[in-house]
Amino acid sequence: MAGGLSYTALESTELSTAEIYGQTLVDLGREHKEIVGLSADLAGSTKIGVFGKEFPDRFFNVGIAEQNMFGMAAGMAKAGLVPFVSTFSTFASLRSADQIHTDICYQNVNAKIIATHSGTSFGQAGSTHHAICDMAVIRSMPNITLICPADGIETAEAVKAAYENFGPYYIRINRGFDRTLYGKDYPREYKFEVGKAIEVNPGTDITVIACGSCVFQAYQAAKFLEEADGLKVRVLDMHTIKPIDKEAVLKAVMDTRRIITVEDHTVLGGLGGAVAEVMAEAGKGCAFTRLGLQDKFAPIGLHEDIMSMLGIDCNGIIAAVREAMGWICLALRASTSSSSTFTPSTTAIWSMNAPVPPAQLPFILIKGSLPLLKKMILESSPPISIRVFTFMSSLCTKFDTAISS
């Protein structure tokens, strides 16, 4: 393993996200004796078991009693220990909601919840084991910080940050192997900071805000759309759902005028809901799409198949971006060479080398403004409709005819 608490791309590929969490906790435990671990008979599945093997006197298996486990964690935190508590996301957020709310959040104790098998990552286990509303539940509780890392490398950083910052933390990670995003091939500098989104890919046409395993999918979609359609898609890794990075959201709204959120979670109350709240409270509107579970339960199957069916994989994001941009916008962009510009030529409009009849001056001004009109069509928010575009094209033809006659 790489030195200390850092992980290489190779290690994050060989280890599942949960295994990286377990190893990171062991590393922290060696340095900080106040860290203890708790499990509800899922030490092997959540990978907190590696901490238990390393420090058996600081590890507690409470059996299948998640509610008791969180109550115990609150008591340990009140006594000065730093408990890391692990179970499946759905068991933590639903079965133990009362204990997290009252024992941990209400008392604002220094307990860290690392919830695994989040979203639909435990796909074949069925709806009882799909954590499709945990972010909505946890986000509504005061005092708690909610993080959804993009890959194993970011998971290690999030776990370390949870220890370094006082207060309740809820970190949701997947069951299996997340595709590595922040590896050696990542072209930008990577820095994790709680509450600060990471611009994974720059862009000015549209912004995709994602969390968890959807960030890698969004990044791949952005690269494809740049190559295939010439679109500049900004991708934000919104790893911290609470407190959300309001500045990054509002900057994306003003810069790109189109926002798509992507999450392995219901669109009600999760990342999409959090982003919508930021925009609404700031009074900023734009074209807005939320990808995720649309107020329904997920199908049963392999995680990658479920993501495809829900439209939160690379292909689904590509389709959503194209729909948000509108095919007219794409046609305009495709028909415009990289060297051309939409800036109207003032020389062409105002040239007085030849007398201009006063009656034709309005038409000349309108014709000179047509390139600017095209720019407005391309950058409109929401994208201009086909009917309106057809009407404008008809007017342009009439203006040309009138000026020529």
pLDDT of residue 368: 54
Q: What is the DSSP string of 36-62?
A: EEEESS-HHHHSTHHHHHH-GGGEEE-
pLDDT of residue 187: 85
Region 396-402: mean pLDDT is 58
Q: What is the DSSP string of 290-340?
A: EEEE-SSPPPSS-HHHHHHHHT-SHHHHHHHHHHHH-HHHHHHHHHS-TT-
Q: Is the pLDDT of residue 378 over 80?
A: no
Tokens 């309106």 -> residue: 388
Q: What is the average pLDDT score of the chain?
A: 84
DSSP state of 227: H
Q: Is the pLDDT of residue 364 over 70?
A: no
Which own/partner contact pairs does 156-161 have at CB distance under 8 Å and 24+ positions apart? 156/5, 156/6, 156/7, 156/20, 156/21, 156/24, 157/192, 158/192, 158/194, 158/239, 159/21, 159/24, 159/25, 159/28, 159/112, 159/114, 160/5, 160/24, 160/28, 161/192, 161/193, 161/194
CA nearest to 200, candidates 164, 174, 226: 226
pLDDT of residue 184: 82
pLDDT of residue 188: 86
Tokens 């996301």 -> residue: 89
User: Choosing from 11, 66, 157, 263, which is the catalytic residue?
Assistant: 66
Q: Which of 345-379 are b and which e, b meaning 16 or more Cβ less than 10 Å from the residue's Cβ?
A: eeeeeeeeeeeeeeeeeebbebbbebbeebbebbb
Segment (H or E) for 289: strand 287-293
The whole-angstrom separation of Cα 311 and Cα 290 is 11
Q: What is the pTM of this model?
A: 0.80
pLDDT band at 361 (very low <50, low <70, confident <90, very high): very low
Tokens 């989104």 -> residue: 197
The reply to whether 66 belongs to the active site is yes
The whole-angstrom separation of Cα 259 and Cα 250 is 10
Least confident of 38-47, 171-180, 312-321: 171-180
Q: Which of 236-269 are b and which e, b meaning 16 or more Cβ less than 10 Å from the residue's Cβ?
A: bbbbbbbebbbebbebbbeebbbbbbbbbbbbeb
Region 45-58: mean pLDDT is 94
The whole-angstrom separation of Cα 80 and Cα 78 is 5
Return phi, psi of residue 210, to 5°.
-130, 165
Say what the alpha-carbon torsion angle 311, 315, 318, 320 is, to the nearest 10 degrees.
Answer: -20
What is the tens place of the pLDDT at every residue in 164-219?
Answer: 999 999 999 998 777 889 988 888 889 999 999 999 999 999 999 999 999 999 99
pLDDT band at 372 (very low <50, low <70, confident <90, very high): low
Which range of 102-106, 227-231, 342-346, 355-359 scores highest in mean pLDDT? It is 102-106
Three-state SS at 197: coil
CA nearest to 85, candidates 107, 100, 95: 100
Segment (H or E) for 86: strand 82-88
pLDDT band at 369 (very low <50, low <70, confident <90, very high): low
The whole-angstrom separation of Cα 243 and Cα 184 is 29
pLDDT of residue 346: 30
pLDDT of residue 376: 59
What is the tens place of the pLDDT at every residue in 290-303?
Answer: 999 999 999 999 99
Share of the chain above pLDDT 70, in %: 77
| Other beta carbons less than 10 A from residue 79's beta carbon | 10
Comparing 225 with 361, which gets the higher pLDDT? 225
The whole-angstrom separation of Cα 259 and Cα 272 is 10
The whole-angstrom separation of Cα 52 and Cα 200 is 35
Structure tokens at 274: 């959090």
pLDDT band at 7 (very low <50, low <70, confident <90, very high): very low
pLDDT of residue 401: 59
For the chain, give me the number of helices (H) and strands (E)?
A: 19, 12
